[in-house]
Amino acid sequence: MEYQIDKEKGIANVGNTDRLKEVFARAGRGEHLTLGFLGGSITQGSLSSSPETCYAYRVYEWWRKTFPQAEFTYLNAGIGGTTSQFGVARAQTDLLAGKPDFVIIEFSVNDESTEHFMETYEGLVRSVCGAEFSPAVLLVHNVYYHNGGNAQLMHGRVGRHYGLPAVSMQSAIFPEVVSGRIENRAITPDDLHPNDAGHALVASVITYFLEKVRIGALDAAEDKAAALPAPLTANAYEHSVRYRNSYAPDMAGREQPVLCGFAEDAAPQDGITDCFKYGWTASHAGDAITFHVEGSCIAVQYRKSVRLPAPVAEVVVDGDTEHAFRLDANFDETWGDKLELDTVMEHGKTGLHEVTVRLTETHEKDAVPFYLVSVIGS
């Protein structure tokens, strides 16, 4: 069934379309282009019946059908249950390393509508827009279909500041659900993740905007300067660095990291959604691992497991045990292990910090070891 929605209302910001028009021109010339998608579970394709029925692949198909003379590479960098804070930390390896010509950024139902996530989102936007190969960027704002919630208020401020095109499911699809013209269970089984019909609707809002730009039916905003404008926020996250066992930069000649009971996970990673790889494991109380991390913001990623019981750890920054942060690997949900990201310092002193993760609680019959995925310095 094809649902009728007002796709025009889905255009949240026309923005500056110069980069997008240039990509269209290159596609018209038959060039080889890469289409990149960075986001959470909706971008990954959660609850679509196949990888080919998710919104991202449908948008890729629109490009292929619209420009049959061109060649396209599909680069889906969506990872479920992750925010723009993780997105900016992995943008270089998971997205920008592929040098995409066109990028969709989709984190508006993963981020909360807070100043913190406005800053991490801005860092991501600056990282992608500032890439030397100047990709065209489109922001996509998905929505919770039971209450209309998302982070569009904060994300929209960032998008307008950088003159970026944006489309909104809060404006295009959600009103039809509220009115009853579209029954929510017809497009989403959980009021968040679209089914195939929901993914088709999301894709249609995006491709409607792309088509209007392609045929010149939109009045674009004034041209923006070539350089990025001054940031809206403190912008501590633009150059985030992940410390993993595959990459842990030396800091002032210090060994990196120092292992006291933790062991490297040397198993190969099977794609970017195979999240629990290139980290470190530990099983005994007192096991510790220490990093030296550059920046003013520090976050820790670890596994919260549905297999119980699991160990509990704490993270201490610069030896300040009075402000130790608890890392509880026990997950009280049933849908699967979660890649948890906890901010343990934000806008602290800029410079080199000592970060120690230490197991504080283990059990005789722990089902899994503690898994430290990465430490992120920003």
The per-residue pLDDT for range 324-369, each reduced to its tens digit, is 999 999 999 888 999 999 999 999 999 999 999 999 999 999 999 9
> CA 307 to CA 334: how far, in whole Å?
9
CA 322 to chain centre: 32
Residue 313 lies in a domain: yes
Radius of gyration of the chain (CA): 22
Q: Helix, strand, or coil here: 324?
A: coil
Mean pLDDT per segment of 10 residues, for the chain of length 378 residues? 90 96 98 98 97 98 98 98 97 98 98 98 98 98 97 98 97 97 97 98 98 90 70 98 82 76 95 95 98 96 97 97 95 92 97 97 96 97
Q: How many residues does this entry show for the chain?
A: 378
Residue 234 lies in a domain: no
Note down the domain range covering 281.
241-377
Last residue of a domain, one of 195, 214, 233: 214
Residue indicated by tokens 């029925």: 53
Instruction: Concatenate the DSSP letters of all residues of 305-336 into one string.
Output: BSSSS--EEEEEETT-GGG-EEEE-B---SS-
Q: Helix, strand, or coil here: 17?
A: coil
Residue 235 lies in a domain: no
Contact of 110 with 83, CB cutoff 8 Å: yes
If one counts the domains in the chain, the total is 2
- Predicted confidence at residue 253, as pLDDT, reads 60
72 and 181 share one domain: yes
Tell how strand 32-39 and strand 102-106 pair up: parallel
> CA 23 to CA 279: how far, in whole Å?
38
> CA 197 to CA 41: how far, in whole Å?
16
Instruction: Report the predicted TM-score, pTM, of the whole model to 2 decimal places.
Output: 0.96
CATH assignment at residue 76: 3.40.50.1110
CB neighbours of residue 239 within 10 Å: 16
180 and 309 share one domain: no
Quote the tokens at residue 25: 């021109």
> CA 205 to CA 305: how far, in whole Å?
37
Q: Give residue-wise pLDDT tens across range 119-169.
A: 999 999 999 999 999 999 999 999 999 999 999 999 999 999 999 999 999
159 and 29 share one domain: yes
CATH assignment at residue 313: 2.60.120.260
150 and 276 share one domain: no
Residue indicated by tokens 């969506």: 78
- Predicted confidence at residue 134, as pLDDT, reads 97
Conformational region of residue 286, where left means phi above 0, alpha means psi within -120 to 50, and beta covers everything else: left
206 and 245 share one domain: no
202 and 263 share one domain: no
Last residue of a domain, one of 214, 231, 263: 214
- Predicted confidence at residue 226, as pLDDT, reads 57
Side chain identity at residue 128, one-letter code: V
38 and 143 share one domain: yes
Side chain identity at residue 284, one-letter code: H
> CA 73 to CA 319: how far, in whole Å?
47
> CA 369 to CA 66: how far, in whole Å?
50
355 and 280 share one domain: yes
Phi, psi of 269 (to 5 degrees): -90, 135
Residue 221 lies in a domain: no
